Amino acid sequence: MGQIIKDYLERFRRYHYLGYLRHYYNAARHPHPFRFLAFVLFGTLVVFSLAIYSTVAIVNNTFESSPIVFYGLTVFMYLIGFAVVPTIVLWIQGYRHREKILSSEIPDNLPQNSGKEVWYVLMLLSLYQTINKVFEW
């Protein structure tokens, strides 16, 4: 049991902590850091504004769909918004310290972006829409 916990903590450190550090070092090497930061800030602002709008609709009971789906989507929007906050903070810190970071200081064991995350989200959304259309008939 102790080995399972150690393996889990190592996976967590590798994919979350080192993944967040990747944003820090990417900001230091990025040629246009403000474009990425503006894109992430705008996206986060949109997600949080939709989450707040959904929360107000829940409080006023003005939504027109299933409560479980609406509550779930609202919580999901808050989770997405809060998950991006460490990326924004590390991106700003990496940009601020870009002169101090040498390319030789960047660790070799940082996990790389796979690009598959976007496809997972698109597949889940298309699956949801397909199921919704099937049961709508």
Model confidence pLDDT, tens digit, residues 8-62: 777 766 666 666 777 777 777 777 778 888 888 898 999 899 899 989 998 998 8
**Reduced 3-state DSSP string for the chain:** CHHHHHHHHHHHHHHHHHHHHHHHHHHHHCCCHHHHHHHHHHHHHHHHHHHHHHHHHHHHCCCCCCHHHHHHHHHHHHHHHHHHHHHHHHHHHHHHCCCCCCHHHCCCCCCCCCCHHHHHHHHHHHHHHHHHHHHHC
Q: Give how far the C-alpha of residue 134 lies from the chain's centroid of Cα atoms, to the nearest Å.
A: 30
pTM: 0.59
